[in-house]
Amino acid sequence: MKIAIASDLSGFPLKEALAGHLRSKGYDLLDFGIEDADHPQPYYIQAPKVARAILEKKAEKGILVCGTGQGMAIVANKH
């Protein structure tokens, strides 16, 4: 199963932990970042990347991680 994953700066540490765990379990990840804390992207830039990957059948599931989850959910649901 291919899973798309992305975070903003607030969710970066958890995203990295989740990505590592999922890879160790054999999941194929499409990681949209952020790559590191020095190159942050806001939730409204990150959420559409995962939503589009699912809509375009590049991933079967998506995980979005931010500070509260509210912004990511709102933006993703608009796609």
DSSP letter string, 15-66: HHHHHHHHHHTT-EEEE----STTS---HHHHHHHHHHHHHTTS-SEEEEE-
- Whether 66 is catalytic is yes
10-26 pLDDT, tens digit each: 999 999 999 999 999 99
What share of the chain in percent tops pLDDT 90?
A: 95
How many alpha carbons lie under 13 Å from residue 65 in its C-beta half-sphere?
A: 21
- In the chain, the number of structural domains is 1
Give this prediction's pTM: 0.92
CATH number at residue 17: 3.40.1400.10
Catalytic residue among 4, 47, 66, 76: 66
Structural domain that includes position 32: 2-77
Strand, coil or helix: what is 19? Answer: helix
Residue 11 CA, chain-centre distance (Å), reads 9
- Amino acid type, 11: G
